[in-house]
């Protein structure tokens, strides 16, 4: 009975759980912010778990990292300055490296232990930190963002954990206001935005807050990632007032970017067709999620 209670009591997805067979626990420690766990699974490679919530597996991480990075960066011409919030594993940085127009990548991750663990167990993701354009800031993003000069970034990617724990404030309007301030006119935000099967309420709240703050456009896109709850994950894409951004049609197609496809790691999920398709929403979502 206790096992059952433990298994099904996550507030983000009560009453359901997805299992992976554990072959071996490789790392388990409590950082200042969360419990960090890495295990070798039977069929998905190594898995990173924070506070009991799966963050990535070696087998399907590319779908999430490619989408959260390229949806925003392929929606504007020649992005130069980019901020990543969270993303301490380095996977998003690895994807940003494909964009040769990018000159500066700031990353603000709250937990040094996530970075250390990624360097130890996920070298294919942590490789992202080796790019000389990357500048690492270990801090709560809520504090970091306050000091960013107005209009500094062309794109901001919020690759943060679910809003229970240290990422709680990152889905609220005050944070979005600071993000909008940190973006140039016509700059873009791509924010991890949960599952349309499980979190319509949260998605609705995030979209309404974004609509109030971002005077350009606000859209929802999604991708399937088998090991995230319900097998899908969404993204909110917003632009600030300025040159209009039509997220649904990539103006900076990845196929035309020099070096992006010939990179030593090939793209395994994202392409321009997937980009366009990601904005097509099932009817129940169009009905339940307001203002899309
Ligand atoms: N690319 C892997 C996916 C993640 S990792 C989320 C990261 O956000 C974690 O490393 C966590 O330490 C960091 N983080 C959480 N709160 C903050 C904060 N306030 N400031 C800076 N970084 C933060 C996300 C997976 C999504 C899972 C969907 N269910």
| Global confidence as pTM | 0.96
Task: Tell how far CA 234 is from the center of its chain.
Answer: 9
For the question of residue 159 being annotated catalytic, the response is yes
E-assigned strand segments in the chain: 22-30, 35-41, 46-50, 53-57, 81-86, 104-109, 134-138, 153-159, 183-192, 218-224, 232-239
58-113 pLDDT tens trace: 999 999 999 999 999 999 999 999 999 999 999 999 999 999 999 999 999 999 99
Q: How remote is the CA of residue 190 from the centroid of ligand 1, in Å?
A: 14
Contact between 19 and 97 under an 8 Å Cβ cutoff? The reply is no
Check residue 276 and give its pLDDT: 98
User: Model ipTM?
Assistant: 0.97
Best of 106, 110, 193 to mutate for ligand 1, by most ligand atoms within 8 A of CB? 110
- Choosing from 3, 159, 205, 256, the catalytic residue is 159
What does the radius of gyration of the chain's CA atoms come to, in whole angstroms? 18
The tens place of each residue's pLDDT in the chain, 292 residues long, gives 667 777 888 888 888 889 999 999 999 999 999 999 999 999 999 999 999 999 999 999 999 999 999 999 999 999 999 999 999 999 999 999 999 999 999 999 999 999 999 999 999 999 999 999 999 999 999 999 999 999 999 999 999 988 877 888 888 899 999 999 999 999 999 999 999 999 888 899 999 999 999 999 999 999 999 999 999 999 999 999 999 999 999 999 999 998 888 777 899 999 999 999 999 999 999 988 865 5
Binding-site residues, ligand 1, Cβ < 6 A: 50, 55-56, 85-89, 91, 108-111, 114, 140-142, 159-162, 166-167, 170, 192, 228, 233
Strand order in the sheet with 183-192: 134-138, 104-109, 81-86, 153-159, 183-192, 232-239, 218-224
* Residues 6+ away with beta carbon under 8 Å from 157: 68, 69, 72, 82, 83, 84, 85, 87, 92, 96, 189, 190, 191
Q: How remote is the CA of residue 161 from the centroid of ligand 1, in Å?
A: 4
Question: Which residue's CA lies nearest to atom 1 of ligand 1?
Answer: 87
Q: How remote is the CA of residue 159 from the centroid of ligand 1, in Å?
A: 6
Structure tokens at 164: 């229970």
Alpha helix segments (H runs only) across 45-89: 61-73
């Amino acid at each position: 009975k206790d096992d059952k209670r433990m298994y099904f009591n996550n507030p983000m997805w009560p009453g359901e759980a997805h299992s992976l067979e554990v072959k071996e626990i490789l790392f388990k420690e409590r950082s200042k912010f969360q419990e960090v766990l890495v295990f070798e699974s039977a069929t998905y490679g190594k898995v990173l778990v924070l506070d009991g919530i799966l963050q990535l597996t070696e087998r399907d991480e590319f779908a999430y990292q490619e989408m959260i990075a390229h949806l925003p960066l392929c929606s504007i011409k020649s992005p130069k300055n980019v901020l990543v919030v969270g993303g301490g594993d380095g996977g998003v940085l690895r994807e940003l490296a494909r964009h040769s127009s990018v000159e500066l990548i700031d990353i603000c991750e709250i937990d040094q232990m996530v970075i250390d663990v990624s360097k130890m167990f996920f070298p294919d993701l942590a490789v992202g930190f080796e790019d000389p354009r990357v500048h690492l800031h270990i801090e709560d993003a809520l504090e970091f963002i306050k000091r960013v000069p107005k209009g500094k970034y062309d794109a901001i990617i919020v690759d943060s954990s679910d809003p229970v724990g240290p990422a709680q404030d990152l889905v609220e309007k005050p944070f979005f206001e600071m993000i909008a301030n940190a973006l140039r006119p016509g700059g873009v935000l791509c924010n991890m935005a949960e599952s349309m099967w499980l979190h319509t309420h949260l998605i609705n709240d995030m979209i309404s807050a974004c609509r109030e703050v971002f005077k350009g456009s606000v859209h929802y896109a999604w991708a399937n990632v088998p090991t995230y709850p319900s097998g899908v994950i969404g993204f909110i894409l917003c632009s600030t007032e300025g040159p209009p951004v039509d997220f649904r049609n990539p103006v900076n197609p990845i196929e035309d970017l020099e070096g992006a496809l010939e990179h030593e790691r090939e793209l395994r999920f994202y392409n321009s067709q997937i980009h366009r398709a990601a904005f097509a929403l099932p009817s129940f979502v169009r009905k339940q999620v307001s203002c899309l």
